[in-house]
Amino acid sequence: MNFRSIPSREGVESGPGSSRTALSILALCIAAQAAAAADEISESVITARFPDRSIAALTTRLAESGPYKRAVLLMPGHPGILKLESPTAFRLKGNFLIRSRKAWLDRETIVFSVDAPSDEWAGFTGRFRAGARYAEDLRGLAREIEREFGKLPLVIVGTSEGSVSAFHAAAALGPENVKAIFTASLFEQSSNSPGLASLDFDDLKVPMLWVHHESDPCRYTPYWQAKRHAEKTRSPLITVRSANAGRGPPCEAFSPHGFVGIEEETVRAMKRWVGDGSAADVIAPAEDSR
């Protein structure tokens, strides 16, 4: 009997061949759904509470991920105050580290965008960040992360004024299982912070990486200081080069100070250093630099 000659009630040919085709299509659909689920991103808020305050972070991870091998803690630039109320309600969404946070993700990496302590939402000065109270807050947040996700090596990444937070966070949470990455770092004294040039790196016994745009136009974050500090700390420097002038004031997030147009490439370079210790400069292709 020729099965292909008998139409089904739906007007579609049926038989062994068509059944195999239908099963193949179904398998492809299931595989596509599984792939989409694997790439789906989950975000939530994790909070460490104290009697008179709290400190929170936006948790970002792939929906299907883990067990984790590392936690990346992101310290955004000025003012460093996210005012994190929910996974969708927070400030500084345009900051380099915040807008590129998802580029860090893989099945072994979970990301935390760290807010200022709740009682510092009106200030959050460099002097506060250098104090014992901030260290206590950060340790409380680290305990909460460990309670929920297990004890993980920490990669602390700061950008601009957030580099000051990263320095003090690495000092508070290290030296064991902690790495620090300083991007577009605040070296010179500003109205809110003394800058990294005034801090003593001799006592910071963690692996360090410096990342800086060669054409950073911000007067508080000169490239030559990044080169100097990389040499001083005997740590690698990733130099980012791009002709994209971006937009806005020189110290804002969408100028070269915020690695505009080359964010994902810069994050990938940092991830490579975290993974294998290699540090290669990031150079934008000519067509991406216009």
Domain locations in the chain?
1-39, 42-288
Q: Residue 234 corresponds to which tokens in the numbers above? A: 């005997």
- Position with higher pLDDT, 214 vs 32: 214
| Averaged pLDDT score across all residues of the chain | 89
pLDDT at residue 224, as a whole number: 98
- Position 180 pLDDT exceeds 60: yes
pLDDT at residue 285, as a whole number: 83
| Mean pLDDT, residues 225-245 taken together | 96
- pLDDT tier for residue 19 given thresholds of 50, 70 and 90: low
Q: What is the pLDDT of residues 112-152, one digit of tens each?
A: 999 999 999 999 999 999 999 999 999 999 999 999 999 99
- Position 29 pLDDT exceeds 50: no
- Position 37 pLDDT exceeds 50: no
Asked whether the bond before 16 is cis by omega within 30 degrees of 0, the reply is no
Sign of torsion, CA 194 197 201 207?
positive
| Mean pLDDT, residues 63-78 taken together | 96
Residues of the chain above pLDDT 90, percent: 81
DSSP 8-state assignment for residue 148: H
- Position 34 pLDDT exceeds 80: no
- Backbone torsions φ then ψ of 194, nearest 5 degrees: -70, -20
| Mean pLDDT, residues 281-289 taken together | 77
Q: How far apart are CA 45 and CA 150, in angstroms?
A: 17
pLDDT at residue 32, as a whole number: 43
Single out the residue of 56, 70, 163, 172 nearest to residue 111, CA to CA: 70
pLDDT at residue 4, as a whole number: 39
Q: Say what angle helices 132-149 and 162-173 make with each other, to 10 degrees.
A: 70
Q: How much is the pTM?
A: 0.86
- Position with higher pLDDT, 20 vs 193: 193
Classify domain 42-288 by CATH number: 3.40.50.1820
pLDDT at residue 6, as a whole number: 36
| Mean pLDDT, residues 222-248 taken together | 96
pLDDT at residue 273, as a whole number: 98
pLDDT at residue 39, as a whole number: 75
- Position 182 pLDDT exceeds 70: yes
Helices H / strands E in the chain, number of each:
7, 9
- Position 61 pLDDT exceeds 80: yes
Sheet of 109-114: strands edge to edge?
41-50, 53-62, 109-114, 70-75, 154-159, 178-183, 208-213, 237-241, 282-283
pLDDT at residue 201, as a whole number: 96
- Position 46 pLDDT exceeds 80: yes
pLDDT at residue 11, as a whole number: 42
Q: What is the pLDDT of residues 183-229, one digit of tens each?
A: 999 999 888 988 999 999 999 999 999 999 999 999 999 999 999 99
Query: Given its phi and psi angles, is residue 11 left (phi above 0), alpha (psi -120 to 50 degrees) or beta?
Result: left
